[in-house]
Copies of this chain bind each other. A is one copy, B any other.
Amino acid sequence: VRKAPSALSALGRRTEPPPISWLMHLTLSRPRLISLAAGFIDNESLPVRETRLLVRELLRSRPGAQAALQYGTTQGDPSLRRLTCAYLRDLDGAAQANAAYAADRMIITNGSQQLLYMLTEALCDPGDIVLVEDPSYFVFLGIVQSRGLRARGIKIDNHGVDLADLERVLTSLKAKGALHRLKFVYLVSYFQNPTGITTSFDRKAGTLRLLRKYEKAAGHPIYLLEDAAYRELGFSTKDVKSSLAVRAGSDCVIYAGTFSKPFATGIRVGFGILPGPVFNSVLGIKGNHDFGTSNFLQHLLARALESGAYRKHLRQLHETYALKAKIMARAIRESFPAEVEWEPARGGLYIWARLPRGMHSGRDSRLFKRALAENVLYVPGELCYADDPARRKPNHEMRLSFGTGSGPEITEGILRLGRTLRALV
């Protein structure tokens, strides 16, 4: 290997291996490890039988099969867009004529992750600012870091983003003359990754109101990017309307959804609904990325939606996750020290545990290392915080996933973690 200086771009130099890689490496190198870290979905409830049936139908007629195996359009399969928009309209209880859910505003993507990436490309230059929940989804924070953006964390409580804190940050950006660098607010609005918190409809409406209030000073629209990746994984709670349903708000809303988590993560199809100017730009970027997501997968999912297999699968999924969440909650109750704060999950894949402030959970902490020695892995909370100069990163939290493990694995994993915690409290 020659030691030539690097030809990499600024972005190429900045881009680091994501924390996922490191966590995955730890997992693979320890066969007896129980991972409460992975964001994988439940293996046993994957739609094997459903996929067999759907693919058989999809490939039955030659014209249908040929259409699925041929290129589609950059924007995505019209049927899938139509069905997905109708589905979202239904979830939000919106009228059929509501333009916020028009299929021609939707772009199909490789998981919702690709939408987050392209949207950030379309809106943000290096040095631009995005607001994120504090804590937030760490792969999105990776995008922010690699693209040279600045993130500011907004406090959250059990109903979502703290509007007073949001306004405080907006005012402070305005006072510093930095508001024109602010492009969007990123909210993981259902069963948030990592905290499990769901944003109430009022908070969504309140966020949009605040953004509109400050957009004049910004000199351009400030968008709300609602990442609804976990929306359909709610098992013991009612669905909350999306920000698309906020009256007169939808031209500032970008809605990102996915079929990966609710159907199959091996079938990576997501989607976005975007307002005009952003839509055109993201569609052009999608043309350069890959000029369209696999048509085969899109046809498969359109069929799942149309046949009812998708909704049916969701019901089974809810039962599975409700049970696993209950198992994790019981195990935590039984084996964690009383000083640890947490809430039972109502959906999603995660329970967020807060240790006493002085007790570090980061990757260099005694806790993390001892847990690893006990063959149990969690996501250190610190990984879920943006680099925000306005505060130190909290280092006393853990993201615990009940998605991957079986019931007995979850119980045993929590038992080991409880033992480690009790030894250190």
Q: Which residues of A contact B (CB under 8 A)?
A: 1-2, 4-13, 15-18, 20-21, 24, 40-41, 43-44, 46-48, 51-52, 55-56, 59, 62, 65-74, 110-111, 113-114, 117, 121-125, 128, 139, 142-143, 146, 183-184, 215, 218-223, 251, 264-268, 276-278, 280-281, 283-285, 287-297, 299
Contact = CB atoms under 8 A, between A and B. Distances in A.
A2 B62 contact: no
A284 B146 CA distance: 9
Given A215-B4, A223-B7, A285-B146, A290 B268 contact: yes
Contacts of A72: 266
Contact of A46 (B52, B65, B124, B222): B65
B48 A59 contact: yes
Contact of A289 (B114, B122, B222, B266): B114
A219 B121 contact: no
Given A21-B287, A72-B266, A117-B288, A8 B123 contact: yes
Contact of A265 (B59, B70, B289): B70
Copies in the complex: 2
A39 to B, nearest CB: 8
A69 B65 CA distance: 20
Contacts of A223: 7
A4 B278 CA distance: 12
Contacts of A40: 70-71
Given A48-B59, A69-B265, A219-B5, A289 B117 contact: yes
Contacts of A281: 8, 12-13, 15
Contacts of A65: 46, 48, 51-52
Interface centre among A9, A128, A218 (most CB of B within 10 A): A9
Contacts of A44: 66
The residue in A12, A215, A218 that gathers the most chain B C-beta atoms within 10 A of its C-beta is: A12
B16 A284 contact: yes
Given A12-B281, A128-B9, A71 B265 contact: yes
A291 to B, nearest CB: 6
Contacts of A47: 69
Given A5-B220, A69-B266, A297-B294, A280 B17 contact: yes
A120 to B, nearest CB: 9
Given A20-B74, A48-B66, A266-B71, A1 B251 contact: yes
B294 A268 contact: yes
A121 B11 contact: yes
Nearest to A75: B21
